[in-house]
Chains A and B, each alone.
Chain A
Amino acid sequence: MGLKEKSKYEDSYEFSNHEGQQYVSFKIAEETYMVDIKKVREFITYDRISIIPNLPKHYKGVINLRGSIIPVMDLRLRFGYPQLEYNERTVLMTIFVEEKLIGMVVDKVLDVINLPVENLQPPPDTEMIVERQFLEGLCEWRGEMLILLNLDSLFAQDKAIQAIISKTENSN
């Protein structure tokens, strides 16, 4: 590790300890997103997915993670991009959302970054490809725009779907 990197590392260490937060950044299509690192459990490679019937397209199914059954959501599909073929390089991030563990397929995992909280700015009030409630904030980092995802609301929408499913089931 070069001297320069080392000092940078120490800087980021300071950040994470004091006013900063650590995030994992990843790519979906041309956009860069990030999530709170504390919510990320691990990265796994794509495994065979068993489909779950009658769910929105972005739910690819469930996988076996060392004995636990966890659902897999493709963020590309969630945001309306066309799906990429899955291969052995496809990465699944397993993320805690409301005490549940879910897998998310992303294009590419980039980095772990440190950001002071005050660098975050609220998302602009515009029509976007991502529904606004999924965004927690934006920030500028090394000349790139990072989008902080609100995972809870991403999943909360799907809980609404669940409510609809169980409702139709009951009415039947």
Chain B
Amino acid sequence: MDLSKFDPEAVKLFLEEATDMQDQIEESLLTLEGDPSNEDAVNNAFRGFHTIKGGAGMIGFEELQKYTHEVEFLLSDVRGGSRNVTEELISALLSSIDCLRGFCSELEGKDNFDHTLAESSLAQIRILSGDSNKPEEPPKQKSRKQSESIPQESVGKSTPKDNCSRYLIRLKFSEDILESGGDPIVLLKDFHEQGECYVTPHCHSIPDLEFLNPTKLYLHWSLVLSTTKTMKELEDILMFFVDEEGVEIKLIQGPPEETKIKKDINAGIVEATTEKPRHSNVQESSKFKSPNQEEPGLASISQKSKPNFPKPNTPKKKDESGGSIHVSNLKLDKLMNLVGETVINQARLKEFGQELRLADRRMGDIYQQIVYDSDIVVRELQDQVMNIRMVPIKGTFLPLQRIVRDYCVSSGKKIKLQIFGGETELDKNVSEKLGGPLKHLVRNAMDHGIESIEKRLEKGKSEEGTICLRAFHGEGHVFIEVQDDGAGINSEVIFKKALAKGLIDEKAELDEQAIFRLLFHAGFSTAENVSDISGRGVGMDVVRQEIESLRGSIFIDSKVGMGSTFQIKLPLTLAIIEGMLVQVEDQVFTIPLLSILESIRPTVDQFRTMQKQGEVIEIRGEYLPVLNLSKVFNLEREKKINEEEICVIIENNKMRCGLLVDRILDQQQVVIKSMKENFFQIPGIAGATILGDGRVSLILDLPSLMIMSFKQN
């Protein structure tokens, strides 16, 4: 596809909008499948396609515009109630979203989209809408033809169409409609396509040239439309203008008075009077009816000013979004970086304040007051910026619905996906990276957890399996659970399997948790058969790694026959952690505070050795392995354990150990800087942070440190 013909800025905007819309449509379709009578869902889906169609038209992407038009057509039947929601219909619509995504990624210049997919999807859509034989007529040509031949056509065609209804449509928009992207011409064209349409423009509001504001709309129109379409269908065309006061549709019955109207076309306002007698025939009024519609006659067409009554029942779509804007991740990251720098500088200012106070107490006090004041602002700023990055986890959960649905169709199992706490917020980066692992867990639950229908019935369970996705805040973390009511995990089977694979020793005494943890071991798979969905044996290992790279952890809880729960615990954000600064020799390291249980100053006789080397420390009757940073990091001097040493007890993944440090310096929030940006990942180091004095402090990566330390010894 030749991308150069598009305006890159417009394309960018379109893509942002389209991406949002695709997700929304998908969500609506899935809701609709579960609840076919849900009108909101149909409307949302329809609106979504319509918006994409409009956007595609705006950037001039005709292929996509045509495509969405067809889909919209099918959906409008569903809206009108003339078509039932079937699985086939939903499948077709879902695959059309895939096509939309394909179009979009091509537009983005990412992947090439296989346009035959769109063709076949389109064919499917057409078959469904019973429209497959209808030759396609380009709308442009059609409207031109119509406008050229209005008089002849109107006389010739209208007589056979006995079942035509006639509508009077008034389009009087607010003056600034153009600014909000409304395009009356599109609307007029749309009505043109519905049947025979006579348009009367009203030009009398146009001010003198010197007062004319080119961004404002001064024209309004009245249309007389003969069509087989129902009121509802016409309303759909106007669906984006329901907020407009002067937009209304009226049904006029009775024989068409062709000759009269033809005269009126050029007469403009005169039309109002000629139409007057017909008013008695008005039977049905649309919900777009404005308050002053009750006034006698159709004189209101040409009325210039109307009272600005609020309409209580009109849905205000714009308000739902709360007026949000799209900001690129890059900008957000930059802002975050700057705030991080400010926090660092703030710490430096504070440090200097203490020195200043020693030199000049009065000045120091004033200075410190200022620093504290700005400290409050900086903290608040930091919180707010962090807050911007927070998104509801719903966005990560919803694509899973689709996966569950597709799996059910292909496997014959019946599975219901329930989502709780979708509004729980977490860092956008975390949320995005969580998609993969969650997908895997859900697939696992479907494939290995939930049993087949027969098996479930045998066990006295309901035919339909349930997978619950739960998200909630707690302990300064976000918890995410994937729970199924399937077969559960048999710890004995895992134990035997691990034995067979040589992952554990026969004599190993493991509690249930430890056995479950074996599942996360590389190369472990409990699935008897490897399917394309899951069970390749690398999955859980990758899940664990990905969760750990997000500084989270994962636990399994399971009862045979009852189901399993995978619980993921994640930090709220990746950008900042609460850290404890410790000194080891002349280096300052940062330990994530969340891993620290306590700090003690042990006596020499609390340390024991095993086989002369492995050190352990005895704390209240419990022996914990000792992690000696000087040793693990090969720092220059290797010290003997002495009285001065402080032992920080840390816990990771339910494993505890003592970390020896020389001094504890401070506890503060630190901004995590990536080592990978200019270097590469160093084992045992999670990242780096910049201290108040501008020095770099490495943040310890406790899980990998534990491995390094205890596997080497």
Q: Tell whether, in the assembled complex, residue B632 and residue A169 are in contact, meaning their CB atoms are under 8 Å apart.
A: no
Interface class of chain B by DSSP: mixed
Give the Cβ gap from A68 to chain B, nearest Cβ, in Å. Answer: 6
Q: Tell whether, in the assembled complex, residue A52 and residue B682 are in contact, meaning their CB atoms are under 8 Å apart.
A: yes
Q: Tell whether, in the assembled complex, residue A100 and residue B679 are in contact, meaning their CB atoms are under 8 Å apart.
A: yes
Q: Tell whether, in the assembled complex, residue A166 and residue B681 are in contact, meaning their CB atoms are under 8 Å apart.
A: yes
B507 at the interface (CB under 8 A from A): no
A67-B341, A169-B707 known; A50 vs B678 contact (CB < 8 Å): no
Give the Cβ gap from B699 to chain A, nearest Cβ, in Å. Answer: 11
Give the Cβ gap from B366 to chain A, nearest Cβ, in Å. Answer: 29
A94 closest partner in B (C-beta): B678
Give the Cβ gap from A171 to chain B, nearest Cβ, in Å. Answer: 9
Q: Tell whether, in the assembled complex, residue B337 and residue A50 are in contact, meaning their CB atoms are under 8 Å apart.
A: no
Q: Residues of B contacting A61 with CB < 8 Å?
A: 696
B211 at the interface (CB under 8 A from A): no
Rounded to whole angstroms, the CA-CA distance of A51 and B588 in the bound complex is 10
Rounded to whole angstroms, the CA-CA distance of A67 and B336 in the bound complex is 12
Q: Tell whether, in the assembled complex, residue A165 and residue B679 are in contact, meaning their CB atoms are under 8 Å apart.
A: no
Rounded to whole angstroms, the CA-CA distance of A53 and B688 in the bound complex is 13
B337 CB contact (under 8 Å) in A53, A63, A67: A67
Q: Tell whether, in the assembled complex, residue B696 and residue A165 are in contact, meaning their CB atoms are under 8 Å apart.
A: no
Give the Cβ gap from B665 to chain A, nearest Cβ, in Å. Answer: 14
Rounded to whole angstroms, the CA-CA distance of A166 and B704 in the bound complex is 11
A87 at the interface (CB under 8 A from B): no
Proximity string of chain B (220-249) to chain A, C-beta cutoff 8 Å, 1 when within and 0 when not = 000000000000000000000000000000
Determine, out of B261-269, B300-308, B669-677, the stretch whose residues face the partner at the interface.
Answer: B669-677
Rounded to whole angstroms, the CA-CA distance of A55 and B698 in the bound complex is 14
Q: Tell whether, in the assembled complex, residue B673 and residue A68 are in contact, meaning their CB atoms are under 8 Å apart.
A: yes
Give the Cβ gap from A77 to chain B, nearest Cβ, in Å. Answer: 15
How many chain A residues sit at the interface, stated as a range, is 20 to 34
Rounded to whole angstroms, the CA-CA distance of A115 and B261 in the bound complex is 86
A47 at the interface (CB under 8 A from B): yes
A161 closest partner in B (C-beta): B680
Number of A-B contacts (CB under 8 A): 84
Rounded to whole angstroms, the CA-CA distance of A165 and B634 in the bound complex is 15
Rounded to whole angstroms, the CA-CA distance of A64 and B692 in the bound complex is 11
B683 CB contact (under 8 Å) in A51, A54, A62, A70: A54
B677 CB contact (under 8 Å) in A47, A64, A100: A100
Give the Cβ gap from B117 to chain A, nearest Cβ, in Å. Answer: 36
B356 at the interface (CB under 8 A from A): no
Q: Residues of A contacting B632 with CB < 8 Å?
A: 53
Q: Tell whether, in the assembled complex, residue B690 and residue A67 are in contact, meaning their CB atoms are under 8 Å apart.
A: yes
Q: Tell whether, in the assembled complex, residue B344 and residue A102 are in contact, meaning their CB atoms are under 8 Å apart.
A: no
A162 at the interface (CB under 8 A from B): yes
Q: Residues of A contacting B678 with CB < 8 Å?
A: 68-71, 100-102
Give the Cβ gap from A78 to chain B, nearest Cβ, in Å. Answer: 15
Proximity string of chain B (702-713) to chain A, C-beta cutoff 8 Å, 1 when within and 0 when not = 001001100110
Rounded to whole angstroms, the CA-CA distance of A19 and B688 in the bound complex is 44
B514 at the interface (CB under 8 A from A): no
Q: Residues of A contacting B317 with CB < 8 Å?
A: none
Give the Cβ gap from A7 to chain B, nearest Cβ, in Å. Answer: 41
Q: Tell whether, in the assembled complex, residue A54 and residue B340 are in contact, meaning their CB atoms are under 8 Å apart.
A: no
Give the Cβ gap from A48 to chain B, nearest Cβ, in Å. Answer: 5
A96 closest partner in B (C-beta): B678
In the complex, chain A residues 57-106 whose Cβ is within 8 Å of any chain B Cβ: 61-64, 67-71, 100-102
A8 at the interface (CB under 8 A from B): no
Q: Residues of A contacting B712 with CB < 8 Å?
A: 172
Residues of B whose CB lies within 8 Å of any CB of A are: 337, 340-341, 344, 587-588, 632-635, 673-675, 677-685, 688, 690, 694-698, 704, 707-708, 711-712
A-B contact pairs, 7 of them (CB 8 A): A51-B633, A52-B679, A68-B678, A69-B677, A70-B679, A100-B677, A162-B681
Residues of A whose CB lies within 8 Å of any CB of B are: 47-48, 50-55, 61-64, 67-71, 100-102, 159, 162, 165-166, 169, 172
**18 other contacts beyond A68-B677, A69-B679, with CB at 8 A cut-off?**
A50-B587, A51-B633, A51-B635, A52-B679, A53-B633, A53-B634, A53-B682, A53-B684, A53-B685, A64-B694, A68-B678, A69-B674, A69-B678, A69-B688, A70-B679, A162-B681, A165-B682, A169-B704
Which 4 A-B pairs have CB atoms at the shortest separation, nearest pair first? A53-B633, A50-B696, A71-B679, A172-B711
